[in-house]
Amino acid sequence: MTLTATMLLRRLHQQSQTEVIARARAQFQGSSEEFLTLAEEYDTLAPRLRGRFLETLGLSSEDFESSQGTPLSLAVSAETGRFLSNMVLSHKPARILELGSSCGVSTLYFAEALRTLGQGTVVATELDPAKCVQLRTHVRTAGVGAYVDLREGDVFQTVSELDGTFDMVFIDVWASTYLDLFKRIEHLLHPGSIVLADNMYTAEDAVRPYKQYLDDNPRFSSTTLDFESGVEFTVVVS
């Protein structure tokens, strides 16, 4: 990864963390001391317990995004970003579909890995025009424009216009839409395609229909990776 991209991603991760903490604090009904104690407790929890912990406090990542004020970037963590990058380096996908790109942090991890390989494209999708402006700026700053195809607009409309097949898909949109959206892209997958879905723990109830659909369908082999927000790792078998 280039020094420019590394510095940019470090700044974006710090910005996202600051935004999330500020929004959570604004919604938390308690003292600052209590909030800090709970934040420390959250950090020590096993990933699979974090979503339930947030629920007991009446908090969730989707609540942060939908509450009043500027929409959050809700960037993937550095650990998840490195995982996505390594998946690209090992699988060598020619086409990646990113469903929910936000301000482009995960997009940068994908594009940087593709640049290392010297080929490939990530089709990034994002509804929010302001986030698309930021994404374009970040892609330009990192110098990975040749590997990114940004599709601005409603993701359901975007996927209806796609053709061909994708070797890798990353899902990071509203958790309640996972299953419906996945059904819209099934025809774009081929045997060996990999589908990664974030927030399987932090939005456990909302993603349950998606998880159940994968588990019940012999076309897919799927397991939940126990780190960060919980990532569903699915391989298309047939």
pLDDT tens sequence across 44-67? 766 676 666 676 666 655 554 544
pLDDT by residue (tens digit) across 88-142?
999 999 999 999 999 999 999 999 999 999 999 999 999 999 999 999 999 999 9
CA dist list (Å): 35 to 21, 27, 64: 10, 10, 16
Q: Write down the CATH superfamily of domain 78-236.
A: Vaccinia Virus protein VP39 (3.40.50.150)
CA dihedral of 93, 97, 101, 106, whole degrees rounded to 10? -20
Find tokens 């509203």 and name the residue: 174
What single-letter DSSP state applies at residue 24? H
Q: What is the pLDDT of residue 67?
A: 45
Determine which helix (DSSP H) or strand (DSSP E) holds 196, and give its type and residue range. Answer: strand 189-197
Query: What would the mean pLDDT of 146-161 be, rounded to a whole number?
Result: 98
- Which of 73-82, 169-178, 209-218 is least confident? 73-82
The pLDDT assigned to 55 comes to: 64
Higher pLDDT, 157 or 38: 157
| CATH 3.40.50.150 location in the chain | 78-236
Task: Quote the CA–CA distance of 203 and 215 in Å, as a whole number.
Answer: 18
**What is residue 210's predicted lDDT score, i.e. its pLDDT?**
98
Give the position of tokens 């959206």: 181
Is residue 34 over pLDDT 50? yes
pTM of the full structure? 0.88
The 3-state DSSP class for residue 168 equals strand
- What phi, psi does 234 have (nearest 5°)? -125, 135
